[in-house]
Structure 1
Amino acid sequence: MVAVNCRFFNTILGTQALAAASKTVDCLKLVHSLHAIFLIAGDNNMPIIYQVHRERDGTSFATRKVEAKQKGLVMFTLIVSFQKEELGFEHQAAIMPVVPPPEQLLNMEEIRERRLTDPRFPMQYRNSAAKKKFVPWPIEMRFCQDSKSQHEPSLHYWFRARGKLSDDPALHRCVVAYASDLLYSGVSLNPHRKRGLKTYSLSLDHSMWFHKPVKADDWLLYVIDSPSAHGGRGFVTGRMFNRQGELIVSLTQEALIRRAKTPGQTPRPKL
């Protein structure tokens, strides 16, 4: 496993824990909710042991607790609830925002190319950015907002997995869980960003609820808002809609958000 920083390390950690838990339940039961707590910072150069505890196996529901360990210490705990699909009452009060379709928006690679030739950016920045190796993420993103809204505590973008996934519904939910935390906690820092200010963010906890079947290789609209930040913690909520406007996933997270102690350097977080 390779993770470039703590945020991506935690993202991969949660996804692998969910995949491990999913392997231990009846294939007819799918995750409908998960609750993760990040206890201590991990080391992306050390192996991780995932221990799955069978908390409950019922007719309709199953519950698993996953502990991720390094050097014998539990650094992450995930509680996952699985449910067999059933018919029931339905309603949806949430309304998908009106945004351009993904086909009309730029992906991250196209945005990068435009910045490299945009005269509004200093030449030093453009030259430096051109020398950096760009590695595409496994998740394709297309942002709905322009640069004027970068300091708002919100973010709207379409995303999907690159390539075609198998029909395994558990896989699609794992991929969505992975995609959910790539930019999530950083939204609470948006109102505080300014030139020269170095910051870092680290997930403290992360919860997801899957309301309906999800296709991770089809476009999903991710609507993220941060209603509050205080005491070094940023609170973020999220909603994911499919192209038909159906609410598929709801999320909440609290993250540690701090100034970096040394300009230009992101320190190893200490909780």
Structure 2
Amino acid sequence: MKEDQPPSHFPDLLALQEFPSVSSPSSLCHSDDRLYVSINKPFKPFPLSRSVYGGHFLAQSLHAASLSIAQSFPGLFVVAHSLHANFLARSSSESPFLYVVSTVQTGNRFLVRLVRVYQYPAEQFDLAQIASASPLFIATISFKTPEPSAQLFFSQSSIPSTSLPDEWHHIPPRPPILASPSKAIPHPDADHPGILAWAADNNYRPHKHAIDVRRVPMTTNPDAFSHRRSFHYYKAISHFVSRPSEDPNLHLCAHAYVSDRNSLFVSADLIGKRNSLAFAASLSHSIVFYPPPIAPAAAADEDWCVMETSTSRSGDGRLSYNGRLYDARGFMIAEFMQDGLAIFSSNL
């Protein structure tokens, strides 16, 4: 890996190097698969974390699948419309990741790719050894050609602004989107009392994140857990070279990246169990992306976008995390749902 610390420029964070084509099929990959190796170090939510930030895999898998299509079909314009992923094993930030992209379907309107992620020691790269291991993450990602404008029909749900304090009622669909970004609170990577106390005691300062995420302070929330909402603003801290019209999938990677931010910590807070969450781990994550009815597509590096999150169920050691992403105009960018493992302490 090139850097000791994760890069703060988001495209650099996702950077991949293509591995030479495999001449003969193996248990790991087929001859028509494309292989990519991560170049830079990913984020860990905090030093005590057992794994890399899950949103990194969501974004880098989408990036790998997008690259594979661009390289196989130069000039073909397709945009990601869904991603369904499973987190299978722990990962380390100290070793590179191998992304194996396989073709599931290539049709006239839809292209589906399966992405499997493996990890290997930084000092060696042995396909035979990697082939004997199990993937730590898998994702099925679907891309779609744009619809003719004459066929477009648009409707969407709006953010339930009644959940917000009065001073935040400009969140879409009530423009302008922002009162002031400075009113929002920079959100830690792991918003948990025990972790925050450890960080304070050890004078730990996290690395600068490639995506700035800020939490809207909530003064009131409905009594019913299912009606409670959490709101965040987010934006890349540096501009991308390409615009959404040129590389929409890179910008969608940024939205996918944010969709896992704090996830189960937020859900635990919404059900009043923030202090008693003893262990949490993502199990699965699904995203559906939506093109805007009016160009241009949402730029993740230019305007503050909004993430609205909630939880719909907890029990049996599991906790849900649901969300919607909106651009600065109030158009819905994506919806997502995560299922996670959550263990609560009975003493808190």
- Fold similarity call, TM over 0.5: yes
Alpha carbons of structure 1 residues 198 and 228: separation in structure 2 relative to 1, 3 Å = closer
Name the SS for the 1:131 alignment partner.
coil
Q: Offset at 1:49?
A: 1.5
Aligned mate of 2:273, from 180, 193, 204: 193
Stretches of structure 2 lacking an aligned partner (at least 5 in a row): 1-40, 71-75, 120-129, 162-168, 171-176, 189-196, 292-296
Q: Shift of the alpha carbon at 1:45?
A: 2.7
Amino acid of the structure 2 residue aligned with 1:25: I
Q: Map of 1:7-46 to 2, 5 A cutoff?
A: 8-26=52-70, 27-46=76-95
Instruction: Give the TM-score of the pair, scaled to structure 1.
Output: 0.80
Residue number in structure 2 paired with 1:158: 233
1:255 corresponds in structure 2 to 340
Q: Please show how residues 1-271 of structure 1 align to structure 2 within 5 Å.
A: 1-4=41-44, 5-6=49-50, 8-26=52-70, 27-70=76-119, 71=130, 72-87=133-148, 88-98=151-161, 99-100=169-170, 101-105=177-181, 106-109=183-186, 128=200, 131-146=203-218, 153-165=228-240, 166-167=242-243, 168-190=247-269, 191-193=271-273, 195=275, 197=276, 199-212=278-291, 213-217=297-301, 218-259=303-344
Q: Which moved more, 1:171-180 or 1:151-160?
A: 151-160
Task: Say if 1:9 and 1:95 are closer, same or farther in 2 by CA, change over 3 A.
Answer: closer
CA apart distance, 1:61 = 1.3
Q: CA deviation at 1:202?
A: 1.3
Alpha carbon RMSD of aligned pairs, Å?
3.0
Equivalent-residue separation in structure 2 for 1:68 and 1:169 (angstroms): 23
Are the counterparts in 2 of residues 37 and 206 from structure 1 also a CA contact under 8 Å? yes
- For residues 146-198 of structure 1, the C-alpha deviation after alignment (integer angstroms, 9 at most, x for no partner) is 36659965311111111212212121011111111112232221124355x45
Q: 1:129 to 1:171 in 2, by over 3 A?
A: farther
Gaps of 5+ in 1: 113-124, 264-271
Q: TM-score scaled to structure 2, two decimals?
A: 0.63
Q: For residues 3 and 248 of structure 1, do their structure 2 counterparts lie closer, same or farther at Cα, with a shift above 3 Å needed?
A: closer
Relative contact order, higher structure (CA 8 A, sep 6+) = 1
Residue 10 of structure 1, CA deviation:
1.9
Distance 1:139 1:12 in 2: 11
Q: Which amino acid aligns with 1:238?
A: G
Cα displacement string for residues 29-70 of structure 1 (whole angstroms, at most 9, x for unaligned residues): 111111001122223333321111011112221110001123
Identity %: 23
Structure 1 or 2: more strand by fraction:
1
